[in-house]
């Protein structure tokens, strides 16, 4: 790379531009759903209803409010039928159904009789781009006052469009905040403008490259729009992390009087090796997201692994030729001279020695602080994202709230029940329907409908479908003795199957993360003790983060800091899984940064105490800077109006700060002191599987 530095830099730039140009197409291909478990009973019902019966769910659910007049009034009826006829002619609408055109069923009428539904059907599955496009049209043209009636447009198309639109807008705002602020902080950390620009180059390259890979993946499977936030956050964060480590070591070697070529070689042999193993650790951690059955979580797995791989590639193949070209000019544009030549024995080494003088007291104090953060975990509860994660003032959220409060059941989100080969079982099905109606939360059960040899029953529930209450109701519905061949579907059942699918997959994902991380850190350090400590400390840090998330987003504290949001009393299960995996991966990233330098010093002949002190002095500045910069990138997501994105930004930002301060600066050196030389113990027969430093 040194000898062919000009060609390598040109190739790198062309690659970035090409990836960005093609990858930008992915924005039009993204999906705002992906919460369904494709292997579940509810998905079988969905497939049967849509592909066999050719029955579709409404894309748009419009509440028509007649004010103080009953919806059965002839004047209201005339206006509503005219409105429905107009809607039926709109582009993308395949059919309509309303209270007035279907015989005035009570299920389509509000409790007070002053409002009723017009259901609009269109092409495309729920939360698909086609569904969102239709939702955008109805949000713009059929929400508000029309001919004396007040319309509230809701349904999956409108909600999906509102979420997609809000996330795209919020992403632009967060990037406008994080990128300039990141550059300013980088300039402060590096002390020179030339050096501070390089991490951004790696970060942007990783983001654009990941967009290109996500575009290729979207040609074969569903990719969630939420993956964009992880791509930008992880791309900038990891690009900065890895470039910080590489550039810092390169400058360190130059300051020791080495040539540019020798400095580059040493940088790749030391920092480059750390970047590779750190990236591999984060990669295998994020790979666990692809184990889950939900396309939503799989999308984060695709995005996370793509952006990690490209951040590593950018740091190891894109950055070195740039450093070779720049050489000693890496220190050009001095802003803070003290940052250019860090002290060999400064305050980080002094902090480490102070901690190691009183290791027991420091460990106890750190555990008490983490325990206080983790205490609210007792209140944690889970659900899935719905319209309530939008700002309460958003028209889609208002429409959904009106549907929930004014109508007897979730008309646009029914419980779908299919009895395969149910014809001829009239008495059994009648008894089953009667028992269903007794289940708490079920407000109505329609008469059975015959489709060939199969029977379809539709029931309506009183609560929002993606909530713990709905999950409990579906479990009770499935506990009712049913005819053979009965399948339970609908949105609430879909939510329940998704939650159950996550619960069943979680032990396997955790096992994969723990085992792979233990093996990788052992290979990297040659120690049995250090990997176990690292995993345990990460779980402590994670518990503290989850406790803080519960305190803020369930108990409702700190809205003055994170911004207002609708308090649902739950956390989005998928976002909690995502935060946990991302935080675990990033924590391992910082762990390897620190252990790499400590081991290098220890193998050079220094004592355990001195190797920890010197290792912390050489790496803690980088770890702290990387953590602060990553926290800034993710904290920018707190400005989002979508609660799940807001909670992801808060959770990751807090976790990396806790990890870089309490865990890496206090707990790690204290425990290194307590374990002494035993830190580096491993059976002799396993030593041959470790790498040299």
350 — pLDDT class (breaks 50, 70, 90): confident
- DSSP secondary structure string, 561-595? HH------SSEEHHHHHHHHHHHHHHHHHHHHHHH
Q: What angle do CA 667, 672, 677 make, to 5 degrees?
A: 170
613 — pLDDT class (breaks 50, 70, 90): confident
CA distances from 615 to 111, 263, 346, 609, 663 (A): 69, 19, 12, 10, 15
**pLDDT score for 692:** 67
**pLDDT score for 343:** 57
Q: Distance from first CA to last CA of the chain, Å, rounded?
A: 21
**What is d(CA 521, CA 515) in angstroms, rounded to the nearest whole number?**
10
**What is d(CA 41, CA 488) in angstroms, rounded to the nearest whole number?**
6
**What is d(CA 187, CA 491) in angstroms, rounded to the nearest whole number?**
50
Q: What angle do CA 172, 178, 184 make, to 5 degrees?
A: 140
Taking only the tens place, the pLDDT of each residue in 581-606 is: 888 888 887 788 788 878 877 787 78
- Which residue(s) pair with 452 in the sheet? none
Cβ partners under 8 Å of residue 156, min gap 6: 33, 57, 59, 126, 127, 131, 135, 412
Contact criterion met (CB below 8 Å) for 517 and 468? no
Cβ partners under 8 Å of residue 374, min gap 6: 540, 543, 544, 546, 547
271 — pLDDT class (breaks 50, 70, 90): confident
Mean of the pLDDT values across residues 30-50?
Answer: 80
Taking only the tens place, the pLDDT of each residue in 255-266 is: 888 898 999 999
Residue 96 has phi, psi (to 5 degrees) of -135, 160
Strand pairing class (486-490; 449-451): unpaired
Mean of the pLDDT values across residues 223-229?
Answer: 78
Handedness of CA 654, 657, 660, 662 (dihedral sign): negative
Higher-confidence position of 518 and 126: 518
Mean of the pLDDT values across residues 490-519?
Answer: 89
Tokens of 116: 């009723």
Residue 432 clears pLDDT 50, i.e. is over it: yes
**pLDDT score for 621:** 72
Residue 305 carries which DSSP code? H
Taking only the tens place, the pLDDT of each residue in 1-28 is: 888 888 988 988 898 888 888 888 777 7
Residue 340 clears pLDDT 50, i.e. is over it: no
185 — pLDDT class (breaks 50, 70, 90): confident
Q: Which residue has the tokens 């329609």?
A: 446
Mean of the pLDDT values across residues 370-399?
Answer: 84
Higher-confidence position of 558 and 336: 558
Tokens of 679: 């830190």
Proportion of the chain above pLDDT 90, given as a percent: 16
Tokens of 306: 């793509």
Residue 342 clears pLDDT 60, i.e. is over it: no
Cβ partners under 8 Å of residue 206, min gap 6: 234, 235, 236, 238, 239, 307, 310, 311, 314
Q: Which residue has the tokens 């990387």?
A: 626
Cβ partners under 8 Å of residue 59, min gap 6: 120, 121, 122, 124, 126, 131, 134, 135, 155, 156, 157
Lowest average pLDDT, out of 82-91, 154-163, 262-271, goes to 154-163
**pLDDT score for 391:** 80
Cβ partners under 8 Å of residue 494, min gap 6: 35, 36, 37, 40, 42, 43, 46, 465
**pLDDT score for 549:** 94
Strand pairing class (382-383; 571-572): parallel
**What is d(CA 589, CA 234) in angstroms, rounded to the nearest whole number?**
12
**pLDDT score for 360:** 93
Mean of the pLDDT values across residues 349-370?
Answer: 88
Residue 214 clears pLDDT 60, i.e. is over it: yes
Tokens of 278: 């750190």
**pLDDT score for 321:** 92
Cα 249 from chain centroid (whole Å)? 32
Can you tell me whether residue 486 is helix, strand or coil? strand
**What is d(CA 486, CA 45) in angstroms, rounded to the nearest whole number?**
10
Taking only the tens place, the pLDDT of each residue in 140-176 is: 888 888 888 899 998 888 888 888 788 778 777 877 8
* Radius of gyration of the CA atoms of the chain, in A: 29
Tokens of 44: 């079988």
Taking only the tens place, the pLDDT of each residue in 522-561 is: 888 888 888 899 889 888 999 999 999 999 999 989 888 8
Residue 109 has phi, psi (to 5 degrees) of -115, 145
**What is d(CA 121, CA 134) in angstroms, rounded to the nearest whole number?**
10
Domains of the chain: 1-30+191-342 (1.20.1640.10), 57-160 (3.30.70.330), 393-496 (3.30.70)
Mean of the pLDDT values across residues 464-476?
Answer: 87
**What is d(CA 116, CA 107) in angstroms, rounded to the nearest whole number?**
9
Taking only the tens place, the pLDDT of each residue in 649-673 is: 899 899 988 988 888 888 988 898 8
Higher-confidence position of 633 and 647: 647
Residue 440 clears pLDDT 60, i.e. is over it: yes
Tokens of 115: 């409002």
**What is d(CA 493, CA 43) in angstroms, rounded to the nearest whole number?**
9
409 — pLDDT class (breaks 50, 70, 90): low
Residue 239 has phi, psi (to 5 degrees) of -60, -45
Closest CA to 637 of 647, 625, 649: 649
**What is d(CA 491, CA 461) in angstroms, rounded to the nearest whole number?**
11
**pLDDT score for 617:** 77
**pLDDT score for 530:** 87
**What is d(CA 378, CA 551) in angstroms, rounded to the nearest whole number?**
10
Tokens of 504: 């069943």
**What is d(CA 389, CA 315) in angstroms, rounded to the nearest whole number?**
37
Lowest average pLDDT, out of 188-192, 283-287, 340-344, 354-358, goes to 340-344
**What is d(CA 257, CA 282) in angstroms, rounded to the nearest whole number?**
34
**pLDDT score for 345:** 60
CA distances from 372 to 360, 547, 551 (A): 19, 8, 11
Proportion of the chain above pLDDT 70, given as a percent: 95
Closest CA to 303 of 199, 384, 226: 226
**pLDDT score for 339:** 52
Mean of pLDDT over the chain: 84
Confidence (pTM): 0.79
**What is d(CA 135, CA 478) in angstroms, rounded to the nearest whole number?**
33
Residue 462 clears pLDDT 70, i.e. is over it: yes
**What is d(CA 293, CA 189) in angstroms, rounded to the nearest whole number?**
42
Mean of the pLDDT values across residues 84-88?
Answer: 90
**pLDDT score for 548:** 94
Higher-confidence position of 155 and 513: 513
Closest CA to 8 of 217, 316, 359: 316
- DSSP secondary structure string, 319-387? HHHHHHHHGGGGG-SBS-HHHHS--SS-HHHHHHHHHHHSHHHHHHHHHHHHHHHHGGGGG--EE---G
- DSSP secondary structure string, 382-404? EE---GGGS-TTSHHHHHHHHHH
Higher-confidence position of 464 and 190: 464
């Amino acid at each position: 790379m040194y000898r062919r530095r000009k060609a390598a830099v040109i190739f790198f730039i062309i690659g970035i531009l090409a990836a960005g140009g093609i990858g930008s197409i992915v924005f039009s291909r993204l999906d705002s759903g992906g919460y369904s478990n494709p292997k579940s009973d509810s998905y079988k019902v969905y497939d049967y209803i849509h592909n066999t019966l050719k029955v579709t769910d409404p894309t748009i659910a419009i509440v028509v409010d007649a004010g103080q007049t009953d919806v059965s009034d002839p004047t209201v009826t005339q206006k509503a039928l005219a409105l429905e006829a107009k809607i039926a002619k709109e582009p993308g609408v395949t059919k309509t159904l309303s209270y007035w055109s279907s015989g005035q069923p009570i299920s389509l009428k509000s409790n007070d009789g002053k409002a009723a539904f017009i259901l609009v059907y269109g092409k495309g599955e729920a939360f698909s781009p086609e569904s969102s496009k239709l939702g955008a049209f109805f949000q713009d043209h059929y929400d508000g006052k029309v001919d004396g009636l007040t319309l509230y447009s809701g349904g999956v198309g409108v909600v999906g469009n509102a979420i997609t639109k809000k996330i795209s807008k919020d992403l632009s705002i967060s990037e406008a905040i994080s990128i300039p602020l990141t550059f300013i902080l980088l300039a402060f950390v590096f002390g020179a403008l030339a050096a501070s620009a390089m991490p951004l180059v790696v970060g942007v390259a990783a983001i654009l490259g990941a967009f290109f890979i996500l575009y290729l993946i979207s040609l074969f499977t569903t990719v969630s729009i939420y993956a964009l936030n992880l791509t930008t956050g992880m791309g900038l964060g990891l690009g900065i992390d890895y470039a910080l480590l590489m550039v810092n070591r390169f400058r360190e070697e130059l300051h020791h009087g080495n040539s540019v070529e020798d400095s580059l070689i040493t940088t790749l042999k030391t920092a480059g090796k750390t970047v590779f193993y750190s990236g591999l650790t984060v990669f295998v951690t994020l790979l666990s997201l692809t184990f889950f059955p939900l396309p939503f979580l799989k999308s984060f797995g695709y995005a996370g692994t793509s952006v990690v791989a490209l951040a590593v590639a950018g740091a190891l193949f894109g950055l070195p030729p740039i450093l070779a070209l720049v050489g000693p000019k890496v220190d050009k544009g001095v802003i803070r001279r003290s940052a250019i030549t860090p002290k060999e024995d400064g305050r980080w080494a002094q902090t480490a020695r102070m901690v190691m003088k009183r290791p027991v007291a420091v460990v106890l104090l750190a555990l008490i602080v983490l325990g206080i953060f983790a205490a609210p975990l007792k209140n944690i509860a889970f659900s899935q994202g719905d319209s309530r994660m939008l700002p309460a003032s958003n028209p889609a959220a208002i429409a959904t709230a009106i549907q929930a409060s004014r109508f007897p059941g979730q008309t646009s989100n029914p419980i779908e029940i299919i009895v395969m080969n149910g014809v001829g079982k009239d008495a059994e099905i009648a008894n089953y329907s009667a028992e269903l109606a007794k289940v708490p939360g079920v407000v109505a059960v329609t008469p059975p409908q015959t489709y060939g040899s199969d029977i379809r029953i539709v029931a309506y529930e009183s609560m929002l479908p993606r909530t713990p209450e709905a999950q409990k109701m579906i479990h009770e519905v499935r506990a009712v003795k049913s005819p053979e061949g009965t399948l339970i579907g609908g949105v609430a059942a879909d939510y329940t199957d998704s939650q159950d699918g996550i619960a069943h997959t979680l032990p396997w994902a955790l096992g994969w993360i723990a085992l792979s991380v233990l093996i990788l850190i052992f290979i990297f350090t040659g120690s049995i003790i250090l990997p176990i400590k690292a995993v345990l400390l990460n779980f402590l840090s994670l518990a503290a983060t989850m406790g803080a998330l519960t305190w803020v987003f369930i108990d409702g504290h700190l809205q003055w800091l994170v911004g207002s949001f609708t308090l649902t009393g739950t956390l989005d299960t998928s976002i909690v899984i995502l935060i946990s995996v991302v935080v675990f991966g990033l924590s391992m990233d910082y762990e390897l940064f620190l252990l790499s330098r400590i081991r290098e010093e220890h193998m050079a002949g220094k004592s355990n105490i001195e190797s920890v002190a010197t290792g912390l002095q050489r790496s803690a500045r980088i770890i702290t800077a990387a953590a602060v910069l990553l926290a800034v990138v993710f904290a920018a997501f707190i400005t989002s109006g979508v609660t799940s994105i807001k909670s992801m930004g808060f959770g990751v930002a807090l976790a990396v700060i806790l990890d870089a301060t309490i865990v890496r600066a206090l707990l790690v050196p204290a425990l290194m002191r307590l374990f002494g030389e035993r830190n580096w113990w491993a059976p002799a027969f396993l030593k041959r599987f470790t790498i040299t430093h």
